[in-house]
Structure 1
Amino acid sequence: MRAGSVRAGHEILDELDRFGAGVLLPDDAAFPPLLREIPESPALLFVWGDVSVLVRPAAGIVGSRVHSAYGADAARLLASGVARAGVVVVSGMARGIDAVAHTAALDAGGASIGVLGNGFGVIYPAANRTLYDRMRAGGCLVTELSPGERPHAGAFPRRNRLISGLAGVTVVVEAAPGSGALITTDCALDQGRAVLAVPGPITSPTSLGCNRLIQQGAKPALTPGDILEELGMPGAVQASAERPAVGESPAERPPPPGLSGLQRSLWETLRTKPKHVDALVATAGMDTSAVLTALTELEIRGVVKQQPGMLFELV
């Protein structure tokens, strides 16, 4: 048994060398300090990429694999905002909100940590192959599983505890009841970490889990600044993440990424001056409820704000 274990250990190290990956132990300087504090702290961590990101301030951003356009927009807004402020975005490399959050952080010039439910050498899901390559170049992939180990049901709850364990705060963007993202928030609470949730429409099943968390006392995540505040990074850093450049008027800025067709139409209409909601409805050619829903989503993103008398303007 002992000789076999030694051989297996040598084989693992050889595979890590072949990938250009490595392994960290808890007493290594690059081992994430927050992970040392959690119950069932990992005895080792396989790492692939820039390990320096593992000791930087980090926020977990998680959510459903099946998500709405609103959820994707919210994930982009939050992930890109905190990434520009120097916060590393942690997520689980799954389809949906996880992939959106990783991509937004990298697109913003920031860093991201992907926590895997499989070993190196296995791409799961296969659709994320390009994202795997980007993550190794612009962040770090981590896992407890040996190279070549395939994903299995029991691996994902353990992965989720690492997502929250690596982060000072965990934000859930969209989550239906029973979603794995809610397992991550449970882990965060068990670890004594802050949990934030993105509020959503009460008619949306994928927002029910988030709305329940807020009902139970979680703070709403409305802007990147809400996350930065939980991490103890308010003030100038918060301002740089949320405000446009000095002297740049809303009309001079390009449209925010990820807008729906209706949201883009409303943004274009509001570029010149504030408009009453009736004028926006008339210009959009949509029913009032659809326009109000789109305006609410834009307000949550920090793109528009409402003035007295149902006037709306760009921020």
Structure 2
Amino acid sequence: MSREDNLRALVAFEVFKTPQKITRALLDPNPELLRGAWRALDRGTQESLHKQSEDLSNRKILAVCADDPRFPNSLVFNGRPIVPVLFCTGDLSLLGAPGAGMCGSRKVSSLGIKAARACGEEVSDRGLTVVSGYAKGVDTETHLAALERGGRTIIVLAEGVNHFRVKREFSEKFDPERVLVVSQFHPQQPWASYSAMARNHVIFGLGLALIVIEAGEKGGTLAAGRDALKRGRPVFVLNFGDETPPGNRILLDSGGREVKSRRGLGEALDHLKDSPYQGMLI
């Protein structure tokens, strides 16, 4: 793992603070900008950042900065990265692998749980990577479905990577060779509702499409679906008939693509894999 990459990212966070300014600093072709920022720090801060960088490297966590060739093109919009850096641990090759973003409520219904697992299996059966958050409910079911199917999954955190732990539900199935954990936030940043909303952009950005399992009439899942539609991402929305959640209905009325069955999702995913959309920038 590159301590230099980790240190560059940590210095940018320390000095430039906001995502926009951090991105500009990391993309600046003149390396003197970050070097000057480093020299302006007091010795205590420099030593702390060095220690943090070494700790990340020792735990096999790598900062993939916006200027890194491994940074996904799908996270670039109008020529600008939507996040300045991804702190990653696990199978880094999954950053460039075709996948499908998946989202839904933490307070999911029993029908939604079954649907989440079926969707995770369909995605994995087609050789696509499941991309989702790390909350209970839909997120957990989609990841577990992928791992149990022998597939691959990307866990997108809504907090810093230092807070990541393998949850009890994953203890028997977690395979670091088939899992990538990513965070766009400073490694020490705690969970917050605004970061969960921001994290959703990475979920649908890393996938060829976003699959919405259950969305309420307000909240993060509905916002993610709306944002994905605005960015031109295909959004597949489950239709449960009379039991369709209100947020799903809103997204269907807004241009989401209706999915009524497991077979229907499979066909949509097959078409997506063969579509020229694959690899397009958002």
- TM-score range normalised by the length of the shorter chain: 0.7 to 0.9
Q: Which residue of 1 aligns with 2:157?
A: 116
2:196 aligned with 1:156:
yes
Shift of 1:175: 1.3
C-alpha spacing 1:129/1:122, structure 2 compared with 1 (3 Å): farther
2:147 to 68, 88, 106: 106
Partner of 2:41: 3
Secondary structure at the residue paired with 2:161? coil
- Structure 1 residue 85 corresponds to structure 2 residue 126: yes
Gaps of 5+ in 2: 1-14, 16-39, 276-282
1:132-147 equivalent positions in 2, closer than 5 A: 134=174, 136-147=176-187
User: How far off its partner does 1:147 sit?
Assistant: 2.2
Query: What is aligned with 2:274?
Result: 233
Counterpart residue number, 1:191: 231
AA aligned to 1:116 is: L
In structure 1, what is the Cα distance between the partners aligned to 2:271 and 2:247?
21
How do 1:248-259 residues align onto structure 2 when only pairs under 5 Å count? none
Tell me if the contact between 1:200 and 1:210 (Cα under 8 Å) persists in the aligned partners.
no
* Preserved CA contact (<8 Å) 1:12 1:147: no
Larger Rg: 1
Aligned positions, number: 230
Identity %: 29
Equivalent position of 1:175 in the other structure? 215
Once superposed, what is the RMSD of the aligned Cα atoms?
Answer: 2.4
Alpha-carbon spacing, 1:99–1:159, altered in 2? closer, same or farther (3 Å): same
User: How far has the Cα of 1:129 moved from its partner?
Assistant: 4.7
Residue pairs, 1:264-303, within 5 angstroms: none
TM-score by length of 2: 0.73
Stretches (4+) displaced over 4 A: 4-8
Distance 1:74 1:174 in 2: 9
1:219 aligns with 2:257: yes
Superposition deviation, residue 233 in structure 1: 3.4
1:89–1:70 Cα change, 3 Å: same
Structure 2 CA distance for partners of 1:158 and 1:59, relative to 1, 3 Å: same
Residue 52 (structure 1) shift: 0.4
- The Cα of 1:8 is off from its aligned counterpart by 4.9
Residues 10, 171 of structure 1: alpha-carbon distance in 2 compared, 3 angstrom cutoff: same
Shift of 1:108: 0.8
Rounded Cα–Cα distance in structure 1 between residues aligned with 2:120 and 2:243: 25
Residue 113 of structure 1 contacts residue 141 of structure 1 at CA under 8 Å; is this kept in 2? Answer: yes
Match of 1:25 in 2: 65
Shift of 1:184: 1.3
Question: CA separation in 2, counterparts of 1:162 and 1:135?
Answer: 22
**Residue 109 (structure 2) pairs with residue 68 (structure 1):** yes
**1:14 alignment partner in structure 2:** 54
Task: Give the C-alpha shift of residue 105 in structure 1.
Answer: 0.9
Q: Which has the higher contact order (CA 8 A, sep 6+)?
A: 2
